[in-house]
Amino acid sequence: MRPTDPDVSAEAGLLEIRQVGMDRIETVRDLNVTIFDEERIINTFDRDGVMIFLAFVDGTPAGFKLGYALGNEKFYSAKGGVLPDYRRRGIARALLYEMLDAVRAAGYERFVYDTFPNKHPGMTVLGLEEGFEVVKAGYSPQYQDYRLRFERKLEPETEPDG
Ligand SMILES: CC(C)(COP(=O)(O)OP(=O)(O)OC[C@H]1O[C@@H](n2cnc3c(N)ncnc32)[C@H](O)[C@@H]1OP(=O)(O)O)[C@@H](O)C(=O)NCCC(=O)NCCS
């Protein structure tokens, strides 16, 4: 656990992003129900390379982000969200940064996620701001929105000088 952006801390309490295991899945489930109004988090956790991150504000769970491997080179960020009362304080961006760091450190080459831009505009705007490109688009009759796939290549970690 480590403190993240100090600006966020000053404005909205101490923000901590922690990578957690399946033992915290009930916390994710509670957040998921509040944010998405559904019990299902993702279809299955029987996936390779599952990573789960929780955001805490002053120790209270405020958001989550989780994903898994799609083959050896690609990591798929499958779902994430922030509780309504905690939005627009940089928490989704902090979760993304932590996940990008962990995914890069694990040796993946590309980071991808899908989002529905009309239903949930936040991850479209954030993705474009953070250097992602749209690599696929199609209409989903189930969600009655376009599904955009965002992708970003991950630069290999550089060794510190000296
Ligand atoms: C999308 C979501 C995760 C964003 O969480 P957040 O913590 O409020 O996001 P951040 O504060 O880190 O926002 C970072 C940037 O993303 C963009 N952004 C975030 N929410 C936005 C929105 N509703 N509309 C437009 N841009 C948005 C902004 O550029 C923002 O920077 P700014 O606040 O300085 O303008 C949150 O709104 C949420 O949980 N929504 C419902 C579920 C969802 O959409 N999940 C993602 C599905 S792929």
| Residue 122 located in a structural domain | no
Domain count, the chain: 1
| Residue 124 located in a structural domain | no
| Residue 11 located in a structural domain | yes
| Residue 66 located in a structural domain | yes
Domain region containing 53 = 2-110
| Residue 80 located in a structural domain | yes
CB distance 125 to ligand 1 below 6 Å: yes
Q: What dihedral do alpha carbons 93, 98, 102, 104 form, nearest 10°?
A: 40
| Residue 98 located in a structural domain | yes
Pocket test for ligand 1, best of 88, 95, 98, 112 (most atoms within 8 A of CB): 88
pLDDT in tens, 39-50: 999 999 999 999
Task: Return the residue whose CA atom lies nearest to atom 21 of ligand 1.
Answer: 122
| Residue 31 located in a structural domain | yes
CB distance 32 to ligand 1 below 6 Å: no
pLDDT in tens, 60-105: 999 999 999 999 999 999 999 999 999 999 999 999 999 999 999 9
| pTM (predicted TM-score) | 0.92
Give the pLDDT of residue 156: 77
